[in-house]
């Protein structure tokens, strides 16, 4: 069992933006007044999204105060779930799926490009501190393999050239257009429909 690392570089303060505070109130209002702690995962997501994809310790204490929870309880949630990052991962966090369908379709080429363009090792910031990458298990888009996730968006049907183009974009502090590199919609067949082609009148 791996243990999450805690960043040595911790900010002294954290507060939600006004827009996020409105979202916090909406999340808390979903639960009875004596069950505010039920909103903890939603609030930690808001922290991570506001703070360049990672959660500092001061933000964990901040969320604990908002929800009237013991700090250690919020810390337990943040360390238990793999989707929460307790160290800086950069403004653009790249997760490359390397489960069997993606691996068969060339995920190893994507990870090689990560090593060449972002950082030699996983969970290591690029030279300009804008991004990092890691291998992950199935992201649920097997039909459109190989694929990767950057922050909250999926990039599918990738090849080497498209992957390099995407990484060059984020390294220049711009967010690329998500979706299929082959412009197919959802999980539609690459070469168009092959079944249910006839329309029969009832």
pTM: 0.81
Residue 141, token pair as written in the block: 């888009």
Residue 60 has pLDDT above 90, yes or no: yes
Instruction: Dump pLDDT digits (tens) for 151-182.
Output: 999 999 999 999 999 999 999 999 999 999 98
Looking at residue 202, what is its pLDDT? 59
Least confident piece of the model among 53-62, 88-97, 129-138, 187-196? 187-196
Instruction: Dump pLDDT digits (tens) for 4-47.
Output: 667 667 888 999 999 999 999 999 999 999 999 999 999 999 99
Strands 153-156 and 148-150: antiparallel
| More confident: 195 or 90 | 90
| Helix, strand and coil in the chain, % to nearest 5 | 40, 10, 50
User: How many CB atoms within 10 Å of residue 57?
Assistant: 16
Instruction: Supply angle C-alpha 196, 138, 189, rounded to 5.
Output: 20
Residue 85 has pLDDT above 80, yes or no: yes
Percent of the chain residues past pLDDT 90, beyond the cut: 82
Containing 18, the helix (H) or strand (E) segment is helix 18-28
Instruction: Dump pLDDT digits (tens) for 97-121.
Output: 999 999 999 999 999 999 999 999 9
Strands 131-136 and 92-97: parallel
């Amino acid at each position: 069992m791996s243990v999450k690392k805690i960043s040595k570089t911790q900010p002294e303060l954290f507060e939600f933006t006004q827009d996020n505070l409105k979202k916090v109130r909406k999340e808390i209002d979903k639960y009875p007044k004596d069950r505010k702690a039920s909103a903890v995962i939603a609030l930690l997501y808001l922290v991570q999204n506001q703070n360049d994809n990672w959660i500092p310790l001061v933000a964990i204490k901040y969320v604990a105060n908002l929800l009237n929870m013991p700090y250690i309880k919020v810390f337990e949630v943040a360390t238990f779930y793999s989707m929460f990052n307790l160290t800086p991962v950069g403004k653009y966090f790249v997760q490359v799926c390397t489960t069997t369908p993606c691996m068969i379709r060339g995920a190893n080429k994507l990870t090689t490009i990560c090593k060449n363009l972002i950082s030699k090792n996983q969970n290591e910031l690029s030279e300009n501190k804008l991004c990092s990458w890691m291998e992950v298990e199935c992201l649920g888009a097997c039909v459109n393999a190989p694929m990767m996730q950057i922050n909250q968006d999926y990039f599918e049907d990738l090849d080497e050239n498209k992957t390099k183009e995407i990484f060059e974009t984020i390294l220049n502090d711009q967010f690329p257009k998500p979706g299929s590199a082959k412009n197919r919609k959802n999980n539609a067949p690459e070469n168009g429909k092959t079944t249910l082609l006839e329309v029969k009148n009832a």
